[in-house]
Amino acid sequence: MSSEATSSPNELHRQLRELTERTLSPAARYAHVMLLLVATAVGIVVAALLLTEPALPLRTRAAFGVMCLIAASWVAYACWVLLRRRPLLQAHRVVAGYLSTVFSGLFACAAIGAGIATGAPAAWFAGSLGAVMFAVAVMLLVRARWNRSELRARRDELVRALAGD
């Protein structure tokens, strides 16, 4: 027999409310504020270089444009999390996992491509570091998705227990 079957409706409501109404901890808020500030600063610096240096080669301009888009994505993510203030069922971690997986994969592919094209040891080193970052990002994404599915299952279990009362 599950613990929900013996719990009172008030206790079930409390558990459901606790699960769905959590707010970001102060440490998480500060971390997202730092992410917002750093991503904004990086985006501004890269955009300034892109706009003030018209003589840059096309590949460099394209790379700077992609870097601006990446910075803008992290700014949008940080704003989304800070404005919502409630990380409903770990959705923010799943979104961050997808962003980090895509961006680290993009970096790893670009660096490995540069290594293939130029044979430069620095490009191969960057590509190997990018592959490590990609592997870590994938592991974090898998963990975030698993945690989210566990929280959803718990929420559904509590809803079913409440509906049965």
Lowest mean pLDDT among 4-8, 68-72, 107-111: 4-8
For residue range 25-81, list pLDDT tens digits in order: 888 889 999 999 999 999 999 999 999 998 999 999 999 999 999 999 999 999 999
d(CA 63, CA 96): 22
Give the pLDDT confidence score for residue 96 in this predicted structure: 93
How does the average pLDDT of the chain come out, rounded? 87
> For residue 19, how far is the Cα from the chain centroid?
21
Tell me how far apart the alpha carbons of residues 137 and 18 are, in angstroms, rounded to a whole number: 29
pLDDT at 76: 96
